[in-house]
Structure 1
Amino acid sequence: MRAISVTEYGGPETLRVRAISVTEYGGPETLRVADVPEPVPGPGEVRIRIEAATVNPVDLAARAGHLAALAPDLPLGLGLDAAGEIDAVGPGVDRLAAGDKVIGLRDRLPVPTGAHAEAIVLDAAAAVHAPRTLDAAHAATLPLNGLTALQGLDLLDLRPGSTVLITGAAGAVGRFAVELGALRGLRVVASASASDEAALREAGAALFVGRDEPLARAVRALVPGGVDGVLDAAGLGIRALDALRNEGGFVAVNGGAAVPVNLRGTHVRNVWFRADTAQLEYLVRLADTGHISTRVADVLPLEDAARAHVRLAEGGLRGRLVLRPA
């Protein structure tokens, strides 16, 4: 691909790219691929020609209008993380250059074009060199869910040897959290379907509780007094909080189920995704050295975004659905 400098463009209307944005709230049938103005990077920004972009629950929420309070204006771009190649850079960018293979995270919601497109403009700080050992589809699964898991564990700030319960441990965020927690020397209690136990123990879980078991009772049977921290990736709320010891830490992923109060002196917080250069680079190193794993459930063309939304809503996937613009 020829690298094109920003100055070669007459303006944002000169060229157009295909993208999927929310133009009306509703079901998957409302999703359409449309031609939109090609984004042009400004100071401190890069443009990425997207090779793969994941579909996440936040995309389904945005399409249905559940994020209207956070991003009230339409059109609203879909797609938060992606892998591709930089083809243009704005002034002041020196860490990245045209031709670099990168992964990146869009952490601003109210923008008209997201990663479900042929191209996206991101702050340079939100993109890093892609893992050398992964193809674009697997690399695209790393930014959003890997950063959410990492930042959730950071909020818990547990010492090595502490116990942490991770709900939804077989999911995209939960699986990363199991691996990252084990790397920190934490004693991980994973909660998921019984069929996932072997895979989660291989990923680093020391203890396991089946999703159909009474959570708090089962956890406390394994860890008398309760765990030191909970990363609630499944959004179980009060049921997961009850497995926590007094004055322990609880982190709900992206809002999760409402936890009304800090019962028993516990410390309840939410983790929302945010781009972080150093943390993304750390995740890339872990992926390249085999310390964390990426999972792809299926790769679909951009035009099949509606089908991807239906499949994700049905649940049961192990790995992310990935869209390819071409």
Structure 2
Amino acid sequence: MDVLPVALVIALAMGFNYTNGFHDAANAIATSVSTRALTPRVALAMAAVANLAGAFFGGKVAKTIGSGIIEQPSGASGLWLVACALVGAIGWNLLTWWFGLPSSSSHALIGGLGGAALVAGVAVQWEVIWTKVVIPMVLSPVIGIILGYLIMLAILWIFRHSHPGRVTRGFRLSQTASAAAMAFGHGLQDAAKTAGVVVLALNISGYHTGDSIPVWVLVLSAIVISLGTYAGGWRIMRTLGRRIIDLTPPQGFASETTAASILYVAGLAFGAPISTTHTITSAIMGVGATKRLSAVRWSVAGNIVGAWVLTFPGAALVAAIAWWATLLFH
């Protein structure tokens, strides 16, 4: 197959990767910026570097996306399918970014692949989607709320007799490490997902075989998502950092530590492509609930959950429309 169509699909994948970076940059740094533990630009630079490092540990996640979501299509129509899936994911990312809703880029990508595959007549591997996408999608926010609540309770108990000012200063410093851990987990999960799509395109076109990830694909994905992260996602950052609850440094540390732990276990142990957005948002809710339930702005949380529910069908619909619109060209 001619190299130009493959190069165009890879470029489109990197476009998605870039939107993923600035769309989900808030996941790693919103809490640190809102508590003034880090300045926005320092936080973004740190997150970009950690994203870059994390990408090299996401091989299991990349394999799930590259070979587990849909049956491998063939020929030029297969490349069109991947391209339309990426258009669906990019479209959903831009729409939710515009409205400041922290939806999942991961689920937008999976929804795009599923939607394009369905209209193209390619089999969707529903068992893999159920076990590695749907079940983790439901469990990770529940675990995030519970674990965030418990970690925050532990912090409150351990430091119950300490001077509040010293505790705040200490956790403000600690948030540098917890935000970096969260950004590393974002790279492990999200940069790897794009690498998996690139491998799928390479397999379709005959330039690669198997589900191993070429080093250059990982490097390219890591660099592009890091550039997107450094560009920032200020609209979503405001939602996560201030609109759900008014975070303090101990709460920010607890949220980031909770979310990073879940991302590592899901990605490294199970290769499950979970949402960094769902994970950090639910952790913030759990941490906020230790103060009082009314401290969490549940109306904002409800809008976010609505975006979560709509992500799969929304991205799938955009991908399907893209497929139908391009029927004249393939």
* Higher strand content, 1 or 2: 1
Normalized per residue, which structure has more helix? 2
Which has the bigger relative contact order, CA under 8 A and spacing at least 6?
2
Q: TM-score range by the shorter chain?
A: under 0.3
Output the TM-score relative to the length of structure 2.
Answer: 0.25
TM-score computed with the length of structure 1 as normaliser: 0.25
